[in-house]
Amino acid sequence: MSSAVQPLNTPTIPSLNPREGSVTAQVPAHVPADVARLVAKARAAQSAWAASGFAARAQALQRVRKRFLARAEELVRLLLEENGKPEGESWTAEIIACGDLFTFWAGHAEKLLQTDPVSLNPVNYPSKKGLVEYLPRGVVAVIAPWNYPVAIPLRNVVPALMAGNAVVLKPSGQCPRLSVALGDVFRSELPDGVVEVLVGRGPLGTELVKAGPDFVSFTGSVPVGRELAALCGSRLIPCAMELGGKDAAIVLADCDLERTAHGVVWGAFTNCGQNCASVERVYVEQSIAPAFLAKAKELASALRAGDDYGPLTTEDQRETVERQVAAAVAGGATAVLGGRRLRRPGFWYEPTILADVKDDMEVMTEETFGPVMPVRVVRDADEAVRLSNASRFGLTASVWTRDVERGLAIARRMETGVATVNNHSFTGALPAAPWSGVKETGFGATNSHLAIREMVRPRFVLVDRSRRREMWWYPYNARLKQAVVALRDLALGNVFALRRLLPAFRKRFE
């Protein structure tokens, strides 16, 4: 779908501005009947794209990168108007980091997917050479969420393309104008059909899986992820699922309090907390808890609505935040800061810090995805690790301490896919670093060699230069037994078996 004028009877979806709570445009949208056609179009384009080679694909994607950066101001404006993200955050999280993404994959994909030699036993398999090739799967389906509507899709689309796949991208229907613009960026520089973008809401993601792509990458909620994973399983389609988190920050008594408070407050409230790697639980050692809470409150109180944090992207998400906070306060938690809607149009909610929380509160067990930072006082690091690992999620976690070696040892005890010492959340922007999770966070990886290896299929190739019959071919006779017994004895370390092995081989092939 391009941004060109559509027929009057084309279905549309609204573009909703979460800062104002108002519809700003109606955007032409796809319907379920379009999905199979676009997957077929991508499949038809994929063979030539794969055959073009790494160098040609890298050059094409570098052109896409330039086009992407040239349209950055437009994309930032659309992020503001459809996602609510502040301008500074859009530039850092969605634009600049993605420029690096193109450069990394254009420069590293070929090396990461180079043919691997396979070691073969020269005695058992003489005159043979084995190798593993990595071939594109075909059509990769990317189903992406609304919280980072540029960065998350690109982290999957770019390596899939460099591996030689075509891509059908289903972005969130919350950002339809941005989806159209992102599709135009790719289509302007790539062959027709190599990237197709589905614009719309409802069952398009399900229909995309039913259309039979060769790999599915999904980022979103646990309930939807379960459904799509089951659908992929029923069709034997490999998939990767990143389904959210309930990240913990462990603040130790020996931390640099000033830097730690800045880092944890940013981790909790960046993108208005709508980040699968937001700090959603803070475990702070008792001796510094009052000082940490005071400093965190001071910093969070200074955040400016509109400049430092935006609104929740949807009214439903704000209602989730309100419900969790209200239940926590009713259960005995204290709102040290915030806890209310902002009195202005749109889906705004104050940065909120909760103290006196209990471990079984929903705000401590379920993903909040909003500007809420619950703080739980603990006796020591061991208690903090135990409580952190009690979560059913396992995306990222952080440890804050001046003793880096101790922090590293604690971080390695965390049941997460990412663990950081004295920082939090940002490593998803590093294309060379795997981003993955455990438990109900899902499976598979974004970024790094692990991600691109999921988007290819291995093929083993064997070349045999032998001119003799194989030892294991017919006939199964006494000479075969002599040869294999000698091989067995050699494998057990009997070097004298070599004296029997060579004559046995010669007799076997006479």
Helices 54-70 and 151-162, packing angle to 10 deg: 160
315 is catalytic: no
Distances (CA, A) of 284 to 176, 288, 357, 364: 41, 7, 12, 14
Strands, sheet with 456-464, edge to edge from the N-terminal-most edge strand: 116-118, 128-136, 456-464
Write the DSSP symbol of residue 93.
I
Listed residue (267, 246, 252) closest to 383, CA to CA = 252
Contact 314, 14 (CB under 8 A): no
Determine the 3-state secondary structure of 24 from DSSP: strand
Hey, what's the torsion of the CAs at 460, 463, 469, 475, to 10 degrees?
A: 10
Distances (CA, A) of 158 to 40, 84, 86, 113: 20, 25, 25, 14
82 is catalytic: no
Listed residue (95, 78, 103, 99) closest to 25, CA to CA = 78
Distances (CA, A) of 150 to 28, 79, 121: 20, 9, 49
Which residues, other chains included, contact 471 with Cβ-Cβ below 8 Å and sequence gap of 6+? 124, 480, 483, 484, 505, 508
Which residues, other chains included, contact 246 with Cβ-Cβ below 8 Å and sequence gap of 6+? 280, 281, 364, 365, 366, 367, 391, 392, 393, 395
Q: Which of these is catalytic: 255, 276, 350, 454?
A: 276
Run of H or E including 17 = strand 12-17
Q: Which of these is catalytic: 82, 94, 196, 242?
A: 242
- Residues known to be catalytic: 242, 276
